[in-house]
Structure 1
Amino acid sequence: MAKRNKTVEQEVIAKVRTRREELREQRESSQNQLVRRVALGVIGFLALVLIVGLIVEFLVVPRQAVATVGNEEITLAEWQDMVRYQRARLIVGIEEQYELFADPEAEDPEAAEAQAISYIQQFSGQQISLLTNAYQFLGEFVVEQLVEDELVRQGAEMRNLTVSQEEIDAAVGEQFSYFGGGLPTPQPSATASPEPTPSLTPVPTFTPEGFVLTSTETLTGTEVTTDTVAVEPTAEPTLAPTSTPLPTATPVSADSFQEQLTEQNDGLNDLGADEALYLYEVEMSLYREKLADALFAEQEISTNAEHASAFFLLASTEEEANALAAQVAEKGFLTVWNELKSNPITSADPAAQPPSAQELLWRTEDDYLGFFPNGTVSEAIFSLPIGEASGVLADSSNGTDLWVILQVSGREERPLSETALEEKKQEILTTWLEEQRAAKVVVFENWRTRVPRQPVLDVRYSQVIPTATPPAAPEIPLP
């Protein structure tokens, strides 16, 4: 009986233990399931955050605008592609300079490389800086470039201006001196300046070099002849050209052009840049030219302008200028000018600038402002009566003070040169772009933290090149 009770007791204990184990296992299982659910939730949340981050980084952010031009947006992706392209262009240019300066046959290759890099750092220091520590400036430049491009595109579209693929191809060829098998467009040749409208200004019998006769009067010694007679200068006058002819490009063959173009595109592709952006740049340059022409035509600006020729007595000090003025009062301007031109004053001091006699033929007021930026001289040239000597005028030239006495020898309306016309067109385009920018452009700051640093310039170009240390002087033993 006792044995049976013990067996029953053991069975009861076993059942109770089993029940406890089941409860514990159930509790542990529930806890494990909860942990798994929490872990899966955390993993799922992190995965969601990662996916959202990737979507934002690669889909949303690249489509954000770095600038708006009217209703058009310039996206971050477009801007970054252009920054990478500009970096690649700069790197290709630096590498081409290295090939130019490096001497592959040098006896000391390391010294030759160091010298070549030193030259590159000297001539292309700004480009190297843009690719290294000043990359923000390159990013800002590209923003401004794309904004202007969009303004130009919109302005051209409003005026129904188009650029054909044939024009793009021709412009690309011209950049490589390929003209479709033909010759480059000839530059304006130097032509003699025609004689100006006759005036009642006496001119000397000695005609200085480059002088264009402005009168039918002659000055012989101190006697002025006012009759209308033919001028017989003692020196043969030299007609001045309207411009210096520019050198013409040497045309290359189609094969050479394709080889150079392929080499350029391969260099861009190797650096991860899109070669299509090169064609985009060419296209936009053509649009700029056409828009500048259209804006110039819209404003109906005259292609003529008042030109003047003048003689100058130049002095680097006011005392020298006053001495020249005294001579002019005594002898007359043209006599003093001829004497100084025929017998220039020399100085024992190479740094000294003695008084000189000069002449400028048929320049516009803007041209004279380029020579004498203070405006005193240009104002006198276009206000003084022809043949009347000015007083001493204080001005400057190339940042140096200058004192001038002048006499206008001719003044009349003349066609503007091609260079002057192009400058006016660019001035009009620049003004138009500034007005359009103020009215239509908004630039954001989100690009500043996302300026691409690729492609990377080889570190050798930004390293400091050590200078050679001269050998120490030999010690002289003391007695």
Structure 2
Amino acid sequence: MAKQNSTPKVVTKKHIARLERERRQTRLIVGIAVAGILVVVSLLVYGYLKLNVLQLREPVAEVNGVKITTGEWQERVKFQRAQMINVYNQYSFYQQNFGFDYSQQMQQIEGTLLSPDTLGQQVLDQMIDEILIRQEAEKRGITVSAEEVEASIQENFNFFPDGTPTPTTTPTEISFPTLTGQQMTLSPLTATPTEVLTSTPAPTATLDPAVTATATATAAPNTPTPVPQPATATSTPYTLEGFQTEYETMLEGFKTYNISEKTIRSVYEVQILREKLLDELTKDVPRTEEQVWARHILVEREVEAKEAYKLLQQGFDFAQLARTSSKDTGSGANGGDLGWFGRGAMVPEFEKTSFNLEVGEISEPVQSQFGYHIIQVLGHQEVPLNDSQYQQKKETELTNWLTNERAKGTITTFDTWKEVVPMEPVLQVQQQ
């Protein structure tokens, strides 16, 4: 056999240079690929941090230097949604099992849950009020202990370690006025005022159309507290172990939506603070209400009002003129008599004039959204309030206080919250 040529390959400088270029190109490609991967990973990490950490720390509002973070607000929105769904399910339970009609209330809850901006704003306003309450409570040395929070939670679950309290009935004093001779002369057709002494008289044409709603809607709403899901129509006493089981079940349900026990307990805490501050702010509020008994003539045009006023000044009978000229036919048929009413029952222009008039005095024409009124006051008196009326009066005082605190405080809100309103938990509507 012939011998194979084993001459070694000669590596030239040109070959070495080419290999070096290839290695540099390979390193460049690998470097670019690694850099690209790092950029993608960095973007993913930043996106995660932005969504789950940084964004949650961004403020949605600041109240006198105290920030409400996106995370805190989102948690409360989810908590509020859970509460509303719980109430919805309670309505559904009673409607299906006992025949009550809660369709309107259930539709209202559905509408609110489907309106994220509305619910988000409500929760934000509530949290702002809570900070104002906490700040004022701190100034006044009002505190809430952990024991008070625990007792409130137990009560909310209808668990009473010392036995179920027995409700007591408190009699309500009702005042029936004795008419003076002047009042009998001014209103001879009515032996007693046409309205029993209550704080919410039946509406007539001169009543503010929104007065009934205003009386409740303007009061500061109570902070919602967790309500256990009902299993039966009536509450059944149970043991400490039973309560703890129910409570843990509730917590597990909230944890599904990242709602912490700390948040739930803080809701109870601020509710107790609110009640204590309410009592402190209203400790000097009297348990009476000033009421006025008045009658009026309502006409459409100012010239008619001036003519009617002129006739009254000449001695024309007020009741007779009301029956023939007032476009408020409801009271007109009764000589213009509106009965007794308190503050907030009538439109502002009417109320201001009525409470400033002396008994027997007739006002000049007063313009309101309904037309022109001529008002005569038949009586003034202070009326004792029942528990419900007194509580409403206190709530109104707190509402006014919060309005003033908002006006004089430094409160900033950021509209960025509208982009991140939680839509869970979701209401599961059962088909009937």
1:271–1:405 Cα change, 3 Å: same
Q: Measure how far apart 1:271 and its partner are.
A: 5.4
Corresponding letter in the other structure for 1:284? V
SS for the counterpart of 2:60 is: strand
2:275 alignment counterpart: 289
Aligned counterpart, 1:383? 357
- 1:17–1:123 distance in 2 versus 1, CA, 3 Å: same
Name 2:339's counterpart in structure 1.
360
Report how far residue 135 of structure 1 moved. 1.2
Hey, what does 2:62 align to over in structure 1?
A: 68
- How many angstroms apart in 2 are the aligned matches of 1:69 and 1:127? 29
Q: How far apart, CA to CA, are the structure 1 residues paired with 2:402 and 2:266?
A: 21
Deviation at 1:161, TM superposition (A): 0.6
Query: Corresponding residue for 2:110?
Result: 128
Displacement after TM superposition at 1:191 (Å)? 1.2
Q: Deviation at 1:124?
A: 3.9
Any residues of structure 2 matched to 1:53-92 within 5 Å, and which? Answer: 53-92=47-86
Deviates more, 1:142-151 or 1:177-186: 177-186
2: CA distance, partners of 1:176 / 1:277: 18
Deviations 1:126-184 (A, max 9, x none): 4334433x313322332322222222212211221112234334444555666652134
Query: CA contact under 8 A between 1:394 and 1:402: conserved in structure 2?
Result: yes
CA distance in 2: counterparts of 1:420 and 1:34, whole angstroms: 76
Change (3 A) 1:74 1:272: closer
Question: For residues 44 and 306 of structure 1, do their structure 2 counterparts lie closer, same or farther at Cα, with a shift above 3 Å needed?
Answer: closer
Query: Is 1:201 equivalent to 2:182 in the alignment?
Result: yes
Change (3 A) 1:92 1:280: same
1:42 aligns with 2:36: yes
Q: Kindly tell me: are residues 60 and 41 of structure 1, through their superposed partners in 2, closer, same or farther at Cα, counting changes over 3 Å?
A: same
Choose which of 134, 137, 148 in structure 2 pairs with 1:153.
134
**Contact 2:292 2:354 survives alignment (8 Å):** no
Q: Deviations over 1:97-134 (max 9, x none)?
A: 333444799xxxxxxxxxx9xx75x54444334433x3
Q: 2:94 matched to 1:94? A: no
SS of equivalent residue, structure 2 residue 412: strand
Contact 1:390–1:407 (CA<8 Å) still a contact in 2? yes
* Aligned amino acid, residue 168 of structure 1: V
TM-score, normalised to structure 1's length? 0.60
Distance 1:430 1:255 in 2: 39
Identity %: 21
* Counterpart mapping for 1:95-114 below 5 A: 95-102=89-96
Is the partner of 2:89 in helix, strand or coil?
helix
Is contact 1:308–1:382 with CA below 8 Å preserved after alignment? no
- Paired with 1:185 and 1:263, the residues of 2 have a C-alpha distance of 33
Taking the aligned partners of 1:160 and 1:330, their CA distance within structure 2 comes to: 62
Q: Which is further off, 308-317 or 286-295?
A: 308-317
Distance 2:25 2:171 in 1: 95
Structure 2: which 5+ runs fail to align? 202-232
- Give the conservation status (yes or no) of the 8 Å contact 1:192–1:239: no
Give the corresponding residue for 2:414. 444
Tell me by how many angstroms 1:308 deviates: 4.5
**Alpha carbons of 1:104 and 1:17: their partners in 2 closer, same or farther (altered >3 Å)?**
farther
Q: How many residues align?
A: 382
Query: C-alpha displacement at 1:88, in angstroms?
Result: 1.7
Aligned letter for 1:155? E
Closer, same or farther in 2 for the Cα pair 1:77/1:355, shift >3 Å? same
Whether 1:310 aligns to 2:293 is yes
Question: Given the superposition, is the C-alpha separation of residues 308 and 128 from structure 1 closer, same or farther in structure 2, using an over 3 Å criterion?
Answer: closer
Aligned to 1:475: none
Which stretch shifts more, 175-184 or 70-79? Answer: 175-184
Query: What is the identity, as a one-letter code, of the residue corresponding to 1:373?
Result: V
Contact 2:357 2:377 in 1 (8 A): no
Question: Map of 1:65-464 to 2, 5 A cutoff?
Answer: 65-102=59-96, 120=103, 122-132=104-114, 134-172=115-153, 175=156, 180-184=163-167, 186=169, 189-193=171-175, 201=182, 203=184, 252-255=235-238, 258=243, 268-269=254-255, 273-274=259-260, 276-296=262-282, 303=286, 307-310=290-293, 312=295, 329=315, 353=330, 355-356=333-334, 358=337, 360-361=339-340, 363-364=341-342, 366=343, 369-370=344-345, 372-376=346-350, 378-384=352-358, 386=359, 388=360, 390=362, 406-409=376-379, 411-412=380-381, 418-419=390-391, 421-437=393-409, 439=410, 441-458=411-428
| TM-score normalised by L of structure 2 | 0.65
Q: Is the 8 A contact 1:380 1:390 kept in 2?
A: no
Give the residue type in structure 2 aligned to 1:376: F
Q: Is the 8 A contact 1:210 1:240 kept in 2?
A: no
Gaps in structure 1 of 5+ consecutive residues: 106-115, 213-237, 245-249, 346-350, 466-479
- Rounded to whole Å, the distance in 1 between the matches of 2:372 and 2:32 is 86
Residue type at the aligned position of 2:339: L
SS in structure 2 of the partner of residue 183 of structure 1: coil
What is the alpha-carbon distance in structure 2 between the residues aligned to residue 423 and residue 270 of structure 1?
35
Using a 3 Å threshold, how does the CA distance of structure 1 residues 32 and 332 change in structure 2: closer, same or farther? closer
Contact 1:315 1:356 in 2 (8 A): no
Do the aligned partners of 2:75 and 2:258 also contact (CA within 8 Å) in 1? no
Give the aligned residue type for 1:422: K
For 1:176 and 1:209, the matched residues in 2 are separated by 51
Greater relative CO, 1 or 2 (CA 8 Å, sep 6+): 2
Secondary structure at the aligned position of 1:255 is classed as: coil
